Amino acid sequence: MHPQSRGILSLPGEYSTDSRPFAHEVKITGTDPDSHSVRTEQHQPGGPGHYVVNYDVWNHRDSLTFAKIVRTDQAE
């Protein structure tokens, strides 16, 4: 993500109460070691029977930042 910008990350697929998304986290990396200037917020548009998982990511830094979704239910 460019400095002072916003982006959206999305999990692939669609989910429901019977088919939940895989365990995951949003990992932030960049050239600036201070991660306090990057904020994420999860959204699940839809309802319990049918929804998607999105993350809004805001980079308030003055440097380039990388954000990605990482599975936490598998060995790396």
pLDDT digit string, tens, across residues 31-65: 766 656 788 999 999 998 999 999 999 998 888 88
pTM: 0.82
- Predicted pLDDT at 45: 94
Measuring CA to CA, how many Å separate 2 from each of 5, 11, 48?
6, 21, 34
Q: How confident is the model at residue 14 (pLDDT cuts 50, 70, 90)?
A: very high
Sheet holding 54-59: strands in order across?
5-10, 54-59, 38-43
Paired residues of 54 in beta bridges: 10, 43
Taking 70 as the threshold, does the pLDDT of residue 24 lie above it?
yes
- Predicted pLDDT at 48: 85
Question: Could you tell me the residue ranges of all domains in the chain?
Answer: 5-71
Burial class of 76 by CB neighbour count within 10 A (0 to 12, 13 to 18, 19+): exposed
Quote the Cα angle for 23-26-8, to 5°. Answer: 115
